[in-house]
Amino acid sequence: MKLEETESLSEQIAKHISDQIITGELVEGERIQELRIAKELDVSRGSVREALLLLERTHLIHIYPRRGAIVSEMSSQQVKSLFDTSVLVLGHIVQRISETWRVHEAEQLQQLMDHLAEQVKVGDTEKFYDGIFQYLALQHDMVANPYLMKFYKELLPSLRRSYFLTLNTSRRELQESLALFKLVADAVLIRKSHQATLFMEDFCRHLRHLVLDSLTRMKQIELAWARRSRR
């Protein structure tokens, strides 16, 4: 693991474990082995424990007495709850951006739209959604609500875990996502905050639908393999 000076050691370890959960290297229900992580990263077990406490805030893991840290389940109900919450948070964020942007910030949004169009062209679903959600996470000055932004930052890993499931969806679905987010951006740039909020809700519903479809297919495959292994 390459250390970043801008983050504490525990934050870097938490990000390392988070990435393993998001990409499916660590699966739901799996116990996180502190000793393995400590050896793998050449850090102390105390630092790993601190990282797990940070990670629990993102809902990627649960920490149980005497059992340790377990990767949280990813069920359809949890995905629905995640997006129900995200709609509220993201709606308020784009509302505030609509009301407070300045010229250079409008230019940044235009640059984001160019970046998203390029990701659709090459079919990079991960970079497409990363671009949107990371952009929104950086708008502290425009949103001017540290409590909201802290909460959103803690939601991000779970959001990323959810849309990581959509990496194999069609380019047509990605194009539809771009069209929906373009409505958000256009409303922001003409300062129609209410419209921007409604369009953000539409974008989140579309993504939730893609995630739930992908999750259903994944569970069906897992069930099929489980049945085959019992024969």
Note the pLDDT of residue 168.
Answer: 85
Which residues of the chain does CATH 1.20.120.530 include? 76-219
Q: Going residue by residue through the chain, which has 231 residues, state the pLDDT in tens, using 9 for 90 and above.
A: 444 556 799 999 999 999 999 999 999 999 999 999 999 999 999 999 999 999 999 999 999 998 899 999 999 999 999 999 999 999 999 999 999 999 999 999 999 999 999 999 999 999 999 999 999 999 999 999 999 999 999 999 999 999 999 998 888 999 999 999 999 999 999 999 999 999 999 999 999 999 999 999 887 776 666 666 666
pLDDT at 203: 98
Q: What is the pLDDT of residue 3?
A: 47
> CATH classification of 76-219, choosing from 3.30.70.20, 3.40.1380.10, 1.10.3660.10, 1.20.120.530?
1.20.120.530
Domain(s) labelled CATH 1.10.10.10 in the chain stretch across: 9-71
DSSP string, 132-156: HHHHHHT-HHHH--HHHHHHHHHHH
Hey, what CATH topology would domain 9-71 get?
Arc Repressor Mutant, subunit A (1.10.10)
* CA distances, 94 to each of 71, 88, 98, 137 (Å): 31, 10, 6, 11
Which of 155, 137, 157, 131 has its CA nearest to residue 93?
A: 137
**C-beta atoms surrounding 69 within 10 Å:** 25
Pairing of strands 68-71, 61-64: antiparallel
Alpha helices by DSSP H, listed for the chain, are 9-22, 34-41, 45-56, 76-100, 103-122, 125-137, 140-143, 146-164, 171-189, 193-229
* DSSP H or E segment with residue 64: strand 61-64
Distance CA(59)–CA(154), nearest Å, equals 8
Predicted structure pTM score: 0.89
